[in-house]
Amino acid sequence: MQVIAFVNQKGGVAKTTSCLNIGAALAIEGKSVLLVDLDPQGSLTKCVGIRDLDQQDATTYEVLKGEASINEAIKLVDGKAYYDIVPTDIRMSGAEIELISVPGRDYLLKEALEDLKQPYDYVLIDCSPSLNILTLMALTAADSVIIPVAAQYMPLDGVAQLLNTVELVQKRLNKRLKIGGVIVTIYDTRRSLDREIVESIRARFKEETFKTVVKYNSKLAEAPTFGKDIFDYEPKSAGAESYKAIAKELIEREG
């Protein structure tokens, strides 16, 4: 089971979009996939069409607090690709304060994933756009980190800060953690600035950067409003082709 955290403390870089559509693409490739929503905004949960969770529904929040098993919280996403999700909602917003004094809090998600009854090929964790306690939990539980980086502004300082955090987690909490890759997103081929930024990213992260670049595509932006991944919404779009190619690269990288 490969556990991958999607992390970038900068919002608007297609982090959730990448987590969702890579997960769907992996499922299409025949892999069993579990998505875990660790963002209090619940963006990933909404993107798969789960808009209103009942108070009786177990979410990532109850799992981390030890009030529910992760197996109780899993929901099936039904579309062209079949994958599961552990959803979350606004309840998660209080988790940072409530869990801060819990002994071993950094390992709560790791321990929850160890209790999974169903073996998954991939567990993809969508983190919040900040380096907080929840993100540290994800990094502690993960085998690797994927960093989506938008080509529309110079993002390298933020990525460097994230890499420092990853290195710290490697030393103190999770020695097996590695950089799984950098994905360039929202790339506009018409803008020379975008091309320059892509060149800068590839120069800085030569081995880590995925060969496939996710170009700006309106269908990728539209799909979440309908609660669908790109393969369920517009499978022949350029966005679908990009994420399908990235999923195949990921399979090759992870062996």
Residue, of 155 and 146, whose pLDDT is higher: 146
In this structure, are residues 70 and 112 in contact, taking their beta carbons and an 8 Å threshold? Answer: yes
pLDDT value of position 201? 86
Residue 245 pLDDT class (50, 70, 90 cuts): very high
Mean pLDDT over the full length of the chain:
91
Q: Hey, is 76 helix, strand or coil? A: strand
- DSSP line for 4-24: EEE--SSSSSSHHHHHHHHHH
Tokens encoding 133 = 């306690």
Question: In sequence order, what are the beta bridge partners of 146?
Answer: 6, 181
Element (H, E) at 122: strand 122-126
Residue, of 136 and 162, whose pLDDT is higher: 136
Residue 111 pLDDT class (50, 70, 90 cuts): very high
Judge: domain 2-254, CATH 3.40.50.300. Answer: yes
In this structure, are residues 128 and 11 in contact, taking their beta carbons and an 8 Å threshold? Answer: no
Residue 94 pLDDT exceeds 90: no
Nearest to 149, CA basis, from 141, 160, 136:
160
Residue 144 pLDDT exceeds 70: yes
204 phi and psi angles, rounded to 5 deg: -80, -35
Tokens encoding 68 = 């529910």
pLDDT value of position 156? 66
Element (H, E) at 170: helix 156-172
Residue 136 pLDDT exceeds 90: yes
Residue 222 pLDDT exceeds 80: yes
Q: Which pairing describes strands 75-77 and 83-86: parallel, antiparallel, or unpaired?
A: antiparallel
Where are the chain's structural domains? 2-254
Residue 6 pLDDT exceeds 80: yes
Nearest to 108, CA basis, from 144, 85, 140:
140
Please state which of the ranges 2-6, 50-54, 142-146 shows the lowest mean pLDDT: 50-54
In this structure, are residues 83 and 34 in contact, taking their beta carbons and an 8 Å threshold? Answer: yes
Other CB atoms within 10 A of residue 56 CB: 5
Rounded CA-CA distance 22/98 in Å is 32
Q: What digits encode the pLDDT tens for the residues 12-69? A: 888 999 999 999 999 999 999 999 999 999 999 999 999 888 888 999 999 999 999 9
Nearest to 4, CA basis, from 186, 240, 155, 177:
177
Residue 101 pLDDT class (50, 70, 90 cuts): confident
pLDDT value of position 154? 63
CA distance to 125, 225, 234, per residue, from 4 (Å) = 6, 25, 25
Q: What digits encode the pLDDT tens for the residues 154-200? A: 656 678 788 888 999 999 999 999 999 999 998 887 888 888 888 88
pTM, to two decimals: 0.94
In this structure, are residues 127 and 135 in contact, taking their beta carbons and an 8 Å threshold? Answer: yes
